[in-house]
């Protein structure tokens, strides 16, 4: 068929596009790429802020959905369609956004995406007033604009000078993402009551736009010279096999995260009998632990790197981030106390967050020139897997009537992650010419 052939050609072209080397002032390198001796954390700080905002903006819409349903008369089928529109757009631009980030700079792609998706968040009330189709298009556009956020952020981190800096940078960026989710869940009820969802959308979108415009202004004021091209990136012979193994690992991470994110409130309400307010609070706390865990993983990795090779550290982080959650979820199947269940989920997602110092850091170690496009590709597949995970969870719940089988399946997927990384992922550069 022509479509699969064209898709394969597009993927190969995107992964092989050469990055463009620009001559910049030291300050611009610090702000736009996250490197440079003057301000090594400048780019990481911006990437962290952008990831916090994309997570908060995403959570805002979900938190406002009951009010949208009440005021606009949306049924569950419409809600599902709106969420699917976002995911369709998000999955569409992960790979292309990652390739663009490697080519022109992660911070520039991130700032442009932040400006567009913030504008769409601010326009969401206007779109809703025009009807479901306009709102679905707005959500699709939000997904398209925010799709490059993760690979672009990791492209920023890849410019850090050593494995220690990259591990800390990734941990900080993903901490920002988890803080955004947690803050959105914890503050949404009060802010929605105080401002209403329409005003809150405009305010949140406006804040993101201000941050984006500031970042773009800083870059445009300091960019100096003309582009010079480099040879196209040439991957090693082992790259296809390694990409397949890394994709499986990323799929496992996304499966478990999407299931936890979507179904924890339902679990606390239906399985343990909590009311919706308590369910929301209990669901937010494990994600708050993920934010802390991301930072801790960076510090732990930094300590281990003083006496171990980077790949050995990455393997330990992957083992911790998969085996501990698997054991916690298997134990969760037999728990009836909400407090004990919360403790196990805090343990599971706190350990899960160490994956940032495992898979993501490994990619920046072995392919710093192409980390954006590689993680863009693996996350694109991971988004599809996340959709499948939610569908599968719903069907398992319908068939069994409890979360026991859901937790057992998710635990098995966690364990397949560590098997894949230890069994098939290898150390060494994936781009020819990298040292």
Question: CA nearest 84: which of 253, 262, 286, 250?
Answer: 262
Helices (H), 131-162: 132-146, 149-158
* pLDDT given for residue 76 in this prediction: 62
Handedness of CA 316, 182, 282, 392 (dihedral sign): negative
Which DSSP category does 269 fall into?
I
Separation of alpha carbons 180 and 274, rounded Å: 24
According to DSSP, the β-strands at 228-229 and 20-21 are antiparallel
Cα torsion 58, 257, 274, 340 to 10°: value is -140
CA distance 359 to 244: 13
What is the tens place of the pLDDT at every residue in 170-220?
888 888 888 887 777 677 666 777 787 788 889 989 999 999 998 888 755
pTM of the model: 0.74
Rounded Cα distance, 191 and 245, in Å:
43
Instruction: List CB contacts of 429: < 8 A, sequence separation 6 or more.
Output: 236, 366, 367, 435
Alpha-carbon distance of 288 to 424, in angstroms, equals 32
Which residues sit opposite 228 in a β-bridge?
A: 21
Question: CB of 235 within 8 A of CB of 430?
Answer: yes
> Which residue numbers in the chain have pLDDT < 70?
1-42, 66, 76, 80, 185, 188-190, 219-231, 276-277, 280, 434-435
If you compute the radius of gyration of the chain from its CA atoms, what whole number of angstroms results?
A: 21
Question: Given CA atoms 98, 104, 108, 112 in this order, what sign does their dihedral have?
Answer: negative
pLDDT of residue 196: 79
| First vs last C-alpha separation in the chain | 40
For the record, the structure tokens of 410 come out as 């998710």
DSSP E strands in 97-253: the ranges are 228-229
**Could you count the other beta carbons within 10 Å of the beta carbon of residue 131?**
10
Cα 327 from Cα 92, distance rounded (Å):
34
Give CA separation, 214 vs 34, 82, 93, 129, 370, in Å. 16, 31, 24, 30, 27
Specify the DSSP element, H or E, that contains 212.
helix 163-222
Taking a C-beta distance cutoff of 8 angstroms, is the pair 136, 97 a contact? no
Coil, strand or helix: which one is 274?
A: coil
Whose CA is closest to 86, among 111, 121, 53, 119?
121
According to DSSP, residue 147 is labeled T
Closest CA to 219 of 43, 37, 369, 368: 43
Contacts of 351 by beta carbon, 8 Å cutoff, 6+ apart: 293, 320, 321, 324, 325, 328
CA atoms of 267 and 273, how far apart (whole Å) = 9
Q: What is the pLDDT of residue 169?
A: 84
Helices (H), 224-309: 239-266, 276-304
- Opening angle at CA 278, ends 393 and 194, nearest 5: 110
Question: Which two tokens mark 401?
Answer: 């009537």
pLDDT tens profile 246-279: 999 999 999 998 888 778 877 887 888 877 567 7
Residue in 106, 148, 158 with CA at minimum distance from that of residue 368: 158
Distances 91 to 8, 142, 232, 247, 387 between C-alpha atoms, Å: 16, 11, 25, 14, 10
Cα 313 to Cα 164: distance, rounded to the nearest angstrom? 10
How many angstroms separate the CA atoms of 219 and 225, rounded?
Answer: 12
DSSP bridge pairs for 24: 223
């Amino acid at each position: 068929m022509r479509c699969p052939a064209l898709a394969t050609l597009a993927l190969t072209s995107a992964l092989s596009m050469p990055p463009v080397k620009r001559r910049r002032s030291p300050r611009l390198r610090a702000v736009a790429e996250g490197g440079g001796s003057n301000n090594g954390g400048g780019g990481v700080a911006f990437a962290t802020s952008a990831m916090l905002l994309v997570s908060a903006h995403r959570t805002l819409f979900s938190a406002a959905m009951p009010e949208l349903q009440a005021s606009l008369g949306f049924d569950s089928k419409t809600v599902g369609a709106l969420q699917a529109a976002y995911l369709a757009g998000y999955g569409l631009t992960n790979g292309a956004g990652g390739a663009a980030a490697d080519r022109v700079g992660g911070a520039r792609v991130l700032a442009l995406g932040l400006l567009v998706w913030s504008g769409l968040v601010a326009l969401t009330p206007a779109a809703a007033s025009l009807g479901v189709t306009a709102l679905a298009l707005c959500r699709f556009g939000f997904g398209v604009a925010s799709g490059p956020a993760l690979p672009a952020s990791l492209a920023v981190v890849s410019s850090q000078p050593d494995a220690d800096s990259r591990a800390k940078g990734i941990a900080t960026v993903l901490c920002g993402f988890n803080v955004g989710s947690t803050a959105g869940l914890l503050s949404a009820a009060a802010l929605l009551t105080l401002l209403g969802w329409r005003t809150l959308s405009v305010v949140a979108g406006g804040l993101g736009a201000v941050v984006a415009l500031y970042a773009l202004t800083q870059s445009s004021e300091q960019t100096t010279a003309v582009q010079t091209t480099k040879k196209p990136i040439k991957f090693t012979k082992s790259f296809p096999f390694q990409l397949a193994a890394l994709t499986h690992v990323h799929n496992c991470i996304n499966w478990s995260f999407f299931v936890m994110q979507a179904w924890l409130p339902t679990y606390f309400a239906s399985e343990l009998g909590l009311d919706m307010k308590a369910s929301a609070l209990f669901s937010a706390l494990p994600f708050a632990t993920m934010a802390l865990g991301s930072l801790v993983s960076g510090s732990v990795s930094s300590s281990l790197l003083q006496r171990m090779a980077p790949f050995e550290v990455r393997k330990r982080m992957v083992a911790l981030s998969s085996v501990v959650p698997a054991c916690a979820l298997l134990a969760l199947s037999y728990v009836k106390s909400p407090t004990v269940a919360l403790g196990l989920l805090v343990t599971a997602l706190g350990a899960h967050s160490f994956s940032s110092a495992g898979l993501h850091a490994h990619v920046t170690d072995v392919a710093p020139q192409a980390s954006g496009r590689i993680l863009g590709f693996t996350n694109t597949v991971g988004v599809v897997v996340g959709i499948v995970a939610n569908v599968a969870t719903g069907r398992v719940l319908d068939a069994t009537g409890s979360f026991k089988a859901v937790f057992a399946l998710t635990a098995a997927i966690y364990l397949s992650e560590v098997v894949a990384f230890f069994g098939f992922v290898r150390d060494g550069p994936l781009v020819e010419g990298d040292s």
